[in-house]
Amino acid sequence: MQNPEISGIEYQRGELFGFEVKEYLLQKWNRKCAYCGVENVPFEIEHILARSKGGSNRVSNLCLSCHSCNQAKGNKSIEEFLKKKPLLLKRVLAQASSPLKDAAAVNTTRWELYRRLQSTDLPVEIGSGGRTKFNRQTRGIEKQHWTDATCVGDSTPE
């Protein structure tokens, strides 16, 4: 164990906590603010139904938001926040409830491929996009396709 002093919720949240969710949301929301569509800004993870109103941290209740929209929405219901934009409200709710079908298909294929490669008795390691991004960022490596390939999994050298 790397940090024996941690316990409770900290124990459940490893070093990748947040990376996987953020990567999923970036894909799901097309790297745009769900409310205003702005791109190429720092995004915040936004609760569609505010936690203070009973919303959860489930990915189906999360979207990406720019700081301005997140502050403007606050803990208002999405219906109240977007009451003057009914088409946007409909789109956001539809997108929130729609899973990433492509990601599910790729994930299923990945696990089957992993299972088959394990049967070869060769050393095989897999990793997620979140783990790859974490490895790349903590090592200060610029994002390139080939550098991502070197940053997959737990065995990525320091």
The DSSP string of the chain is: ---TT--HHHHHS-TTTTHHHHHHHHHHTTTB-TTT--BSS--EEEESS-GGGT--S-GGGEEEE-HHHHHHHTT--HHHHTTT-HHHHHHHHHHHH---HHHHHHHHHHHHHHHHHHTTTS------HHHHHHHHHHTTPPP-HHHHHHT-STT---
The CATH class given to the 8-97 domain equals mainly alpha
**One pLDDT digit (tens) per residue for the chain, 158 residues:** 334 444 444 434 444 445 578 888 888 899 999 999 999 999 999 999 999 999 988 888 999 999 999 999 999 999 999 999 999 999 999 988 887 666 666 767 878 888 899 899 888 887 777 788 888 888 999 988 888 888 887 777 77
pTM strictly above 0.75: no
Domain boundaries, the chain: 8-97, 101-150
